[in-house]
Amino acid sequence: MSENCTHNCDSCSQNCSERDLKKAPHELSKIKKVIGIVSGKGGVGKSLTTAMLAVTAARNGFKTAIMDADITGPSIPKMFGITDKATGSEMGIFPVLSKKGIEIMSMNLLLENDTEPVIWRGPVIAGAVLQFWTDVIWNDVDYMFVDMPPGTGDVPLSIYQSIPLDGIVVVTTPQELVSMIVKKAVNMAEKMNIPVLGIVENMSYVKCPDCGKEIDIFGKSRAKQLAAEHKVKCVARVPFDPALTKCADQGLIELFEGDYLDEMFKAIE
């Protein structure tokens, strides 16, 4: 930091440790806590975890929101059965409410056709995510869950730098290959000084419908080992659950039964 620093980063070109790149939300928004849901790779159940945590928070009486920052692979509206499109005015963009009152903003709420691909380069995608934060009018939100894009590249970096995340939840699966990649996401968060609040191991096991025995389809659970390595206290294991999958596919995720993430939300709370 220069000895002549005015502490006004907007008019400064220096890249110093004091520089704060965080963006303010819309002036009419009220957001208390922002939690990122991250993974090292796609296909591990990050969006499902985001939806389940939001529903769990709402069931505990909190006003909840989801920012679907996975611009090229948005799946949150489908899980909540939302077909309405986002609207706006000269003041800003309004999120769409789920059946139970969860505020949601996703790229699929802006596209005319849900299957239309978003063929954009990284900086444009990052800009769209930032607009979800700065241009959307979020009401009195206790917990906002951000469904992050997978990996450790351009867009996740922009989110870490621009949006004031209070912490992250990391989603993984039992496979050793996935665990190795997830460690990259955890290490990235640590380098960005964002606390890891918990680890969710999705597809952790399947329970035999006859005898109730837990079968480790993808091998022995690695979640506790991963948590110990990074001094993370809370671990949750989510099994293959046909009823949960059916709720997500039918747009009824708010009706899912199960306490898989109850302890995880308590840790967040």
Question: Is residue 43 part of an annotated ligand binding site?
Answer: yes
Question: Is residue 212 part of an annotated ligand binding site?
Answer: no
Question: Is residue 46 part of an annotated ligand binding site?
Answer: yes
Quickly count: other Cβ atoms within 10 Å of residue 249's Cβ. Answer: 11
Q: By C-alpha distance, which of 81, 73, 77 is closest to 105?
A: 77
- Helix (H) / strand (E) element for 104: namely strand 103-105
- Three-state SS string over 194-216 comes to CCEEEEEECCCCEECCCCCCEEC
Question: Is residue 122 part of an annotated ligand binding site?
Answer: no
Q: By C-alpha distance, which of 134, 144, 185 is closest to 28?
A: 134
Question: Is residue 55 part of an annotated ligand binding site?
Answer: no
Please give the full DSSP string across 136-182, using - where no structure is assigned. B---EEEEEEEEPPSSSSHHHHHHHHHS--SEEEEEE-S-HHHHHHH
CA dist 150 and 44 (Å) reads 10
Question: Is residue 40 part of an annotated ligand binding site?
Answer: yes
CA dist 114 and 136 (Å) reads 20
* Binding site as annotated, residues: 40-47
* Binding site as annotated, residues for ATP: 40-47
